[in-house]
């Protein structure tokens, strides 16, 4: 059954990682119930999700819905008469698969954003504290005479570049040197005016999305960061002809996990909220571009969102910015004589 379902998904050109994670979920359901798929009942599915939603590390609401959908897709495959599983199970076992999750026991999608409410943008001071902590790590390692200064320099440059271009960790890992290009509209940024993201987050069954991210003037400090990395630090890793922008000591491509670990180390050293994660830098990028005054459509294109509503839920503009908008609106309505103190 699992092999057949895997072939069906492969025919839809889903990624191997997606298919693998779905198969592992089906196996977890089987291990939890101790039953074969043709023996599963709605009560088994409800108990499985309830167990995952309890305990010291309960899964998020959106994760619960995803699990329910994945299991429902597997059962839908079993119930499809074109594959003959119902007849086979009845003939051999006297039992047949049945619907496990239905409208009455599934998580409903009632709000636009269901992510962890602790995930938020970093404010400007927190971004600076993160970068200061990453830079201080380099000085501390050098002062102690230990190995790892080059790695720390790379990690600091990675975090700054992720914030400057608003990329995801996997996108950042897959960027090559050739993906950094000049921008016709901003020649002063040299070869860093544009970053081509060739491995953007894809939709189910679709290839990775491509986009070009323009470096904005407020992030022009990234030119010095990248110049130092490419001209001075990266050569010390002896990368040879490796195409990756970010390389490891063993001359491999820096992994998304390593990038995440770099963030955690800087967050800890900087004394920042432990609920902040690497993706919060992307939230920060979207929020700060909005506060800089860039149009919503431009921000959406920069981060590669298909829908403006997705970009909106990433945003967490400050009270100061909202007060400025309110003040500007009142001045337009009431004229320049309007006094903010009145």
Task: Give 25-48 pLDDT, tens digit per residue.
Answer: 999 999 999 999 999 999 999 999
Quickly name the fold that domain 124-271 has.
hpI Integrase; Chain A (1.10.443)
Give backbone dihedrals phi and psi of 53, rounded to 5 degrees, phi first: -85, -5
Mean pLDDT of all residues belonging to the chain: 89
pLDDT tens digits, 304-330? 988 776 777 666 666 666 666 666 665
Which DSSP state fits 176? Answer: B
Q: Where are the domains of the chain?
A: 2-93, 124-271
Predicted confidence at residue 326, as pLDDT, reads: 61
Residue 48, C-beta contacts closer than 8 angstroms, at least 6 positions apart:
28, 29, 32, 33, 67
Q: What are phi and psi of 311, to 5 degrees?
A: -60, -40
Half-sphere exposure of 225 (CA within 13 A, CB side): 23
Q: Which two tokens stand for residue 310?
A: 């997705």
Q: For residue 121, what are the contacts with CB-CB under 8 A and spacing of at least 6?
A: 280, 283, 284, 286, 287, 288, 314, 315, 316
Does position 172 have pLDDT exceeding 70, yes or no? Answer: yes
pTM for this entry? 0.72
Type and span of the H or E element at 301: helix 296-303
């Amino acid at each position: 059954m699992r092999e057949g379902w895997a072939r069906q998904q492969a025919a839809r050109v889903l990624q191997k990682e997606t298919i693998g994670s779905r198969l592992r979920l089906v196996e977890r359901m089987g291990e939890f119930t101790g039953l074969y798929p043709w023996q599963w009942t709605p009560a088994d599915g409800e108990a499985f999700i309830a167990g995952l939603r309890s305990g010291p590390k309960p899964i998020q609401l959106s994760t619960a819905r995803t699990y329910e959908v994945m299991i429902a897709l597997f059962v839908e495959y079993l119930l499809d008469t074109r594959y003959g599983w119902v007849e086979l199970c009845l003939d051999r076992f006297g039992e047949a698969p049945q619907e496990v999750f239905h409208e009455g026991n599934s998580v409903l999608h009632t709000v636009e954003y269901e992510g962890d409410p602790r995930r938020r943008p970093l404010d400007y001071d927190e971004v600076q504290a993160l970068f200061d902590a990453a830079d201080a790590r380099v000085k501390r390692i050098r002062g102690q005479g230990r190995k790892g200064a080059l790695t720390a320099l790379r990690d600091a440059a990675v975090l700054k570049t992720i914030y400057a271009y608003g990329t995801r960790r996997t996108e950042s890992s897959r960027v090559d040197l050739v993906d950094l290009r000049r921008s016709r509209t901003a020649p002063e940024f040299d070869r860093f005016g544009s970053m081509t993201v060739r491995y953007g987050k894809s939709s189910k069954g679709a290839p990775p999305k491509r986009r070009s991210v323009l470096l904005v003037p407020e992030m022009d400090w990234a030119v010095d960061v990248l110049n130092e990395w490419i001209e001075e630090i990266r050569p010390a890793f002896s990368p040879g002809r490796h195409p990756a922008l970010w390389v490891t000591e063993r001359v491999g491509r820096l992994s998304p996990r390593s990038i995440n670990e770099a963030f955690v180390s800087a967050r800890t050293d900087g004394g920042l909220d432990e609920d902040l994660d690497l993706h919060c830098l992307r939230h920060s990028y979207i929020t700060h571009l909005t506060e800089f005054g860039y149009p919503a459509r431009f921000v959406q294109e920069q981060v590669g969102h298909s829908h403006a509503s997705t970009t909106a839920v990433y945003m967490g503009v400050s009270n100061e910015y909202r007060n400025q908008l309110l003040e500007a609106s009142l001045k337009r309505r009431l004229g320049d004589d309007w006094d903010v103190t009145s």
